[in-house]
Amino acid sequence: MQKCLPLNLLEPTKAKERLLRETYLSFFGMVEEALNRLDGVKSRAELHNETYEDFRGKYRVASQLAIEAASYAWSIRRTVDKGIGKCVVRFDGRLFSFQETRKGNPVLSLRLNHSRIGLPISRDGAYRRLREHLKEGWKATSTIMKRSHKFLVVLRKEMPRPTIRTNTMGVDMNSSKIAVSIIGNGEVLKQAYFGRDLSTRQFLFEERRAKLQEYRDTVSRGKAGLKLKRLSGKQRNYVRTTMWQMANQIVKLAEDLDANIAIEGLEHLRKRKGEWSRKSTRKVNRIPYGFFRHALKHVAEREGVIVKETRPNYTSQTCPRCRHMGRQNWKGYSYFKCVRCGYEADRDRTASLNIALRAAPEVAIPKPYFVSQIPKGDAPVSGHVLQDEGVERPRQTHHELQAPDFSQEKLTSIFLRIDISSSHIAPS
């Protein structure tokens, strides 16, 4: 398993800052040149043989930096169409190390283009977190430098082999929520939702951003632009934190119910965004599938839970009881009703159940369970619990409490009170 942790440095001297900038520019130039030589190249090794000698003679950098530049260009070749605007510089174990001064202050030692320099490390929370990981058995394998000269440390640790579990959890990710269904022993053990608050918060972020963009274009460009930048950072941090929290909750649920995890193997979402409308693109961005999949796999690997990918085709159009497939089963934005057998459920919940069934096709779900998934009372179809999970009738709403009672007995008692009270009123 690998993970990246930030590493904050104290402000370097102007000479060290200049050396860092020169190293970044040299690495960026090698990456650009390697990308221009991709025509006819079929492997990473072939690109290395094509560029290594030229890079060593032209840029005069450390040999490992020339190797890393070609490797980085090969790794991003499918995501770059018209060149790159920035890159990251990776220093492997031969190019970096952690040292200490005579006074015991931590220093990051880097081998740059022409020399090796030491950069003092800030003893903040990020450094303490790095120390804790190193004590827990993590090993620092490389250091990454961004264009802004911010640094990340790549850590690696061998995790225990995941165990095969008896049950299966299907996870369906939509723009409004994440639906989860766990099956085993011939029945559905549990169904739940995650991420509803994230979708709502993302919608509020979008509204705020739209207002600030309008204000920036019409009234005050500088002030509104600064607020937009801050709001963007706040939104990004909130989404990433929530993604990690949901991943931990889902993996914990899988552990409690002894289940493997199955997700949809969605691909090329970024390329397909150009085919969608602007409204559809915003919906897709509310819950980023790629980042959630990364977080889920990372947490699952740490806890020894298996994550497998299944076919994403028609998971929300297929009936999990009779296997009838078609868009005729859609009865609204989030409602599913099979036109053949009458099975009813939330559409995302149906998709999560189909994902679990595809990951464990040998599990048979008994038909009596699928009589209906409409909860008792006035709860919506997409409620947190199902009819079979003991849903009680919800408390009366505000309108129900305020509604007058016009029954015959109630009207009779009202008229009697009026007659009794009117007899005590003196004539005018």
Out of 171-180, 242-251, 407-416, which region has the weakest mean confidence (pLDDT)? 407-416
Backbone torsions φ then ψ of 313, nearest 5 degrees: -70, 125
- Could you tell me the CA-to-CA distances from 167 to 160, 362, 385 in Å, in that order? 20, 11, 20
> Per residue in 271-321, pLDDT tens?
555 566 666 666 666 668 888 899 999 999 989 999 999 888 888 888 888
Winning range, highest mean pLDDT, from 127-131, 211-215, 406-410: 127-131
Average pLDDT for residues 262-273, to the nearest whole number? 72
> Per residue in 52-92, pLDDT tens?
998 988 888 888 999 999 999 999 888 877 678 889 999 99
| HSE, side-chain direction, 13 A CA sphere, residue 74 | 18
> Per residue in 168-184, pLDDT tens?
999 998 877 889 999 98
Please report which confidence band the pLDDT of residue 366 belongs to, taking 50, 70 and 90 as the band edges: low
pLDDT value at residue 23? 93
pLDDT value at residue 273? 53
Higher pLDDT residue, 94 or 370? 94
End-to-end CA distance of the chain: 93
Report whether pLDDT(361) > 60: yes
d(CA 232, CA 343): 43
What are the structural domains, with CATH classification, of the chain? Answer: 2-156 (no CATH), 167-373 (3.30.420)
Return the percentage of the chain with pLDDT > 70, whole number: 79
pLDDT value at residue 31? 92
